[in-house]
Structure 1
Amino acid sequence: MDKEVAIKIGGEAGFGIKVSGLILGKTLFNAGFKVFGYSEYPSLIRGGHNTYQLNTAKNDVFSVTKKIDILVALNQESLELHGQELNNGGVVIHDGLDIKDIKDIKDIKDININLMDLAEKAGGALTRNIVALGAVMNILGMDLQLFNQELEREFGDKGVKVVAMDKKAARLGYDYLKKFKIGAYLKKEAGSKAGDYIMTANEATAQGMIQAGCKLYAAYPMTPATSIMHVLSAKQCDHHLVVHQTEDEISAIGTAIGAAAVGVRAATGTSGGGFALMVETLGLAAITETPLVIIESQRTAPATGLPTWTEQGDLQFMIRASPGEFPRFVIAPGDALEAFYMIQEAFNLAEKFQLPVIFLLDKLLSESDFVLENIEQHKVKIKREGFINDNELERMRDYKRYELTKNGISKRALPGQLAGVHVINSDEHDEYGYSTEASDMRTKMMDKRFKKLEQMMAEAPEPQLYGPRNADLTVVAWGSVKGAVIDALREIGDKYSVNFLHLTYIWPFPAKRVKKVLESAKNVLLVENNKTGQLADLIRQETGFELKNRFLKYDGRPFFREEVIKEIKKYI
């Protein structure tokens, strides 16, 4: 890999830690560097310790590292919590803090700047972070003009005076570092942007929903899914989209089902606790065969758990949720670009098969900043299908909404079509939608819904195998673990023979493909962000293959790249 630099900004909540980090990230992105941004913050209304970590390089970066090169410590707590994360030769920027706990780090570069004094000279204490970022730009060896351009984009709506004050603050921090004569951490290059956009997976999901033709999003705010609603709300007038904040999650899924029942592409979103409230109504979408997309962004649980931290603890819940049995899709993208494309596919699949599709994110994906490049806006063809038109209804004269068909999919008439009147009923029903308790019709309707499974499995893309076909070790993971594993494999390069099986379309389970890969593997390692190895249990259930080597993490933090590399080396 080309030189990669890890920068962490730490300070008290409410002082613009993430905004500052993202400004720096966008500056580097616009200069041609790839970035990955990761934030940590407590579940507090006000206060607490926040960090934003930015990993940047000329090559792709998809994950966060445990060790860092530059620490901007805006308070003593940041030094105490993160000082030992500095690499040998690392830089710490602070304002008169006690650095005794990190003096043992070899060749540490202590940059003591009177940030508050410089901020006051610039025009106000609120520019303290900008002073520090100006210093970071000097350390990186970057042209300050690039940073100034990003300040204009970020704060231009606040007026000329604010932008001028921020630029002055950045210049003061930048110039102050000249006397330290620290070599540039990045090779200064003039280049175009490193991709098309910087986005979180939540932002990419929202953009994909618009692309898919979603016209109603109903939700109740719940971290880490909330920002999807924020993005869509800001764009609803431009795209004829209704965003409705309901009084609770039960109302949210009910509203979405109601909209979908009349032909609107609709979705709802929440986290695990909110989804638990939706479970009974999820069954309503299933038995009425109503297309519905449910976005569930995982956080730690049970109960409130750690509301602002990440985990992959809901996989089995998504597959089994709701009383009774019915087919569904469970899709778990591994990064923001996959989220953009796969949410579009989710709407297509929901409508084609007339069932719920659960779109599974987590806090790491929802709130981390990814570089998206080579986006194909029309890669996913948006297909509106399954409807019956008025002419067909007139010829039919005996419309059956739940007609028993060979593939289990029956044509949908919508309210307002005169010859398409039918009942949408939460009870078991006959072909017209009328309630029935007849044993033979119950069996036929259950079989009808499950007839869709064969075609569903044929439609779902297979898991992707990264790396050589024949390797000494096969890593298996799903969803957000992708980034850490991909970066780990790139970092170890040709030193070790490792490949990676990544699952995204998890249910219906791609048993044939998974079994083929695992049975031909020399050794297998599961990497999963939960306590019990839920994917491993699912693989055993569906294929009979036992994954004995399991690297599990469940402390609320994602996998750091070094951890994955260390674990891989144990099995080679």
Structure 2
Amino acid sequence: MEALHVLIAGPAGAGVFATSNMLGKTLLRHGYEVFITNEYPSLIRGGQQWALVVASAESPVYSHRRRVDLLLALDKQALGSNLSKLGSEGLAVCDTADKGVEDPRVVPLPFREAVKELGAPTVSINTVGVGAIVGALGGDVELLKSAVASQFRSREVAEVNVKLAEKGYSMGVELRRRVRFQLKRLSSSRRLLIDGNSALALGLLAGGMTAFFSYPMTPASPILHFLAEIQREYGIVVFQPESELAAINMAVGAAYAGARAAVATSGGGFSLMVEALGQAAMTETPVVIVNVQRPGPSTGMPTHTAQSDLRFVLHASQGEFPRVVLAPSNPLEAYELGCEAMNIAWKYQVPVIVLSDKFLAESFWTIPDLPRLEPEEGRVFRGEVQGDYARYRLTGDGVSPMAVPGTRGALVYANTSEHDEYGFGTIDPAVVRAMQEKRFLKLRSLRAEAERKGVKVHGDGQVVLATWGSTTMVAREALRELEGVKLVQLVWLEPFPAESFAQEVSGRKLLVVENNMRGQLVSLIREHVLRQPEGFLGRYDGRPLDPEEVVEFVKMHMR
């Protein structure tokens, strides 16, 4: 059976996203695989927004598609703007006052009347609406009620909304004959419905993060909000300073003092952090920077998605120094790479950048229960140092001993100017060369890790589709309609896993898809593998690629 696509649309403040969460939880509790994504304008107040909920009984849902089976419109404008997306056999439900068009697919229902009967706020029509959708789908009303109740912290508010959902459910039952998709209770193991931002935050915690600093910037702000709510439970420091400059410098300072620190921002905020990135590199201070990409330049489109910061983060800050860049494609990878980023930073004493984007950050996927991961400390002294301590001692792998302030027997010193093994400034050519070479010795081990873990492969064929980040999920959805196509996903982008990637694409036609205009992954492939891909598909209008356009692109190159 094909997946179900439900579009929920309405004005800002109408509870569009809360409605999608309630519906998503209901479908999850029925045992379905669920995916949720959204779009909203870059406005302080007002404007229309939508959320798409996709459910499948038979296989994972990797991303959206250009189809809508059911439409829940929370006002007249939402109905008019989104009715064209509805399939010819689809069904749209709205309040009786919002119909506004003569279309056999549109069914008006007394949402506001139900709200008025219970004396609830007018905005609560969204709960009546989600009840109507579940009723029309033949869902279990008890699962609906539990999902609605879990959405609200106030017991009183939850009880009112459960009653509203029941009223909506009764309305929807009358529409079952008009909906070809009917819900069933499926058996399933424990799973989570989680967004990329939350999963990444949990990954940082799994990696032992004890301090988090962030100045709000869409679409990274939810990481700050999530961690702020749970900071006492996890015993961590979460602080919102006055700027991105302050955030990164506080993180570097906290890491120098021994805290496993991270920051989160978007491209504009990362731009302000560039000087401090070099500071972390020169002092060899471990720090993790999460960049949740959005379109630029400048303010760009704050609430939309892009993959246009790749080249920027690879070369940000003056001078040359080793860094690591990781790119998750889904919440499970975000969790795993969040932990790995923290461990790499402390193992190698380098800055690690995690490249996310709005599509991954604010979309929800069904994933298995999160695996247990552990922090790795590295060569860090926190109690006492025996013998002669040199912070930047020359070693065979470039990683020097790191003592934190208060360590007995160690002069804890860091210097952003070039320095000798003890951290004291120098301009001696031989010492300068030795220090630079010492820092780059780390790349030998980092490259080995990148080659081992930096490439993932989905499927097989003589045509290779190369991706990175969240575009991988769109490509995996497209693979359902493609034969003879091998998807090669770059998880590590710096160091670039050149040998592993070259081996996977050797002797095959190579195509690249990504959410930018100039093909930034294409340029990396040319640089590291000395190969020009035979085709490139980029999208740069603030929206993720659609699986349909990926299918069309690949088939065009297979002819």
Q: Same fold (TM over 0.5)?
A: yes
- What secondary structure does 2:177 align onto? coil
Letter in 1 for 2:458: Y
The Cα shift of 1:115 comes to: 2.0
Between the aligned partners of 2:175 and 2:349, the Cα distance in structure 1 is: 64
Question: What does 1:376-525 correspond to in 2, within 5 Å?
Answer: 376-378=371-373, 381-388=374-381, 393-394=385-386, 396=387, 398-460=388-450, 461-468=453-460, 471-489=461-479, 491-492=480-481, 496-521=483-508, 523-525=509-511
Say if 1:204 and 1:390 are closer, same or farther in 2 by CA, change over 3 A.
Answer: closer
The Cα shift of 1:188 comes to: 3.4
In structure 2, the residue matched to 1:71 is: 71
Is the 2:454–2:493 contact (alpha carbons within 8 Å) kept by the matching residues of 1?
no
In structure 2, the residue matched to 1:198 is: 193
Letter in 2 for 1:367: E
Question: Structure 2: which 5+ residue stretches go unaligned?
Answer: none
Say if 1:547 and 1:9 are closer, same or farther in 2 by CA, change over 3 A.
Answer: same
Question: What does 1:211-360 correspond to in 2, within 5 Å?
Answer: 211-360=206-355
Say if 1:418 and 1:472 are closer, same or farther in 2 by CA, change over 3 A.
Answer: closer
In structure 2, the residue matched to 1:551 is: 537
- What secondary structure does 2:465 align onto? strand
Structure 2 residue 532 is the aligned partner of structure 1 residue 539: no
Question: Structure 1: which 5+ residue stretches go unaligned?
Answer: none
State the aligned residue count: 553
Choose from 128, 132, 152 the match for 1:131: 128
Percent same amino acid at aligned positions?
36
The Cα shift of 1:519 comes to: 2.4
Choose from 123, 142, 147 the match for 2:144: 147
In structure 2, the residue matched to 1:529 is: 515
The Cα shift of 1:422 comes to: 3.8
- What secondary structure does 2:389 align onto? coil
Say if 1:322 and 1:172 are closer, same or farther in 2 by CA, change over 3 A.
Answer: same
Say if 1:193 and 1:152 are closer, same or farther in 2 by CA, change over 3 A.
Answer: farther
Is the 1:122–1:166 contact (alpha carbons within 8 Å) kept by the matching residues of 2?
no
In structure 2, the residue matched to 1:33 is: 32
After superposition, the CA RMSD in angstroms is: 1.7
Between the aligned partners of 1:112 and 1:98, the Cα distance in structure 2 is: 6
Deviation per CA, 1:273-292, whole angstroms, max 9, x where unpaired?
Answer: 00000000100000000111
Structure 2 residue 103 is the aligned partner of structure 1 residue 117: no
Letter in 2 for 1:464: K
Is the 1:138–1:184 contact (alpha carbons within 8 Å) kept by the matching residues of 2?
no
Say if 1:180 and 1:407 are closer, same or farther in 2 by CA, change over 3 A.
Answer: closer
Is the 1:141–1:184 contact (alpha carbons within 8 Å) kept by the matching residues of 2?
no
Deviation per CA, 1:43-72, whole angstroms, max 9, x where unpaired?
Answer: 111111111110111121120112111111
Deviation per CA, 1:355-381, whole angstroms, max 9, x where unpaired?
Answer: 100011100111111112143223xx4
- What secondary structure does 1:477 align onto? strand
Between the aligned partners of 1:434 and 1:65, the Cα distance in structure 2 is: 58
In structure 1, the residue matched to 2:20 is: 21
The Cα shift of 1:503 comes to: 0.7
Between the aligned partners of 1:270 and 1:44, the Cα distance in structure 2 is: 19
Between the aligned partners of 2:367 and 2:90, the Cα distance in structure 1 is: 29
In structure 2, the residue matched to 1:167 is: 162
Letter in 2 for 1:314: D
Say if 1:284 and 1:209 are closer, same or farther in 2 by CA, change over 3 A.
Answer: same
Say if 1:23 and 1:180 are closer, same or farther in 2 by CA, change over 3 A.
Answer: closer
Deviation per CA, 1:507-552, whole angstroms, max 9, x where unpaired?
Answer: 001111112222221x222110001110001110111110131111
Is the 1:141–1:185 contact (alpha carbons within 8 Å) kept by the matching residues of 2?
no
Letter in 2 for 1:109: R
TM-score (structure 2 length as normaliser):
0.95
Is the 1:30–1:194 contact (alpha carbons within 8 Å) kept by the matching residues of 2?
no
Deviation per CA, 1:135-178, whole angstroms, max 9, x where unpaired?
Answer: 101221212221111122222x3234x33432332222222234
Between the aligned partners of 1:24 and 1:293, the Cα distance in structure 2 is: 35
Deviation per CA, 1:460-493, whole angstroms, max 9, x where unpaired?
Answer: 313011102xx1321110000111111121x22x
The Cα shift of 1:192 comes to: 4.5
Between the aligned partners of 1:85 and 1:330, the Cα distance in structure 2 is: 38
Deviation per CA, 1:302-325, whole angstroms, max 9, x where unpaired?
Answer: 000000000000000110000111
Higher mean displacement: 553-562 or 302-311: 553-562
- What secondary structure does 1:263 align onto? coil
Letter in 1 for 2:167: L
Say if 1:525 and 1:191 are closer, same or farther in 2 by CA, change over 3 A.
Answer: same
The Cα shift of 1:237 comes to: 1.0
The Cα shift of 1:239 comes to: 1.4
- What secondary structure does 2:533 align onto? coil
- What secondary structure does 1:420 align onto? coil
- What secondary structure does 1:227 align onto? helix
Letter in 2 for 1:83: L
Between the aligned partners of 2:288 and 2:56, the Cα distance in structure 1 is: 36
In structure 2, the residue matched to 1:8 is: 7
Letter in 2 for 1:382: P
In structure 2, the residue matched to 1:207 is: 202
Say if 1:549 and 1:194 are closer, same or farther in 2 by CA, change over 3 A.
Answer: farther
Structure 2 residue 60 is the aligned partner of structure 1 residue 60: yes
Say if 1:180 and 1:413 are closer, same or farther in 2 by CA, change over 3 A.
Answer: closer
Is the 2:36–2:51 contact (alpha carbons within 8 Å) kept by the matching residues of 1?
yes
Between the aligned partners of 1:184 and 1:80, the Cα distance in structure 2 is: 21
- What secondary structure does 1:71 align onto? strand
The Cα shift of 1:241 comes to: 0.1
Is the 2:145–2:166 contact (alpha carbons within 8 Å) kept by the matching residues of 1?
no
- What secondary structure does 1:154 align onto? coil
- What secondary structure does 1:500 align onto? strand
- What secondary structure does 1:451 align onto? helix
Is the 1:27–1:146 contact (alpha carbons within 8 Å) kept by the matching residues of 2?
yes
Between the aligned partners of 1:417 and 1:170, the Cα distance in structure 2 is: 60
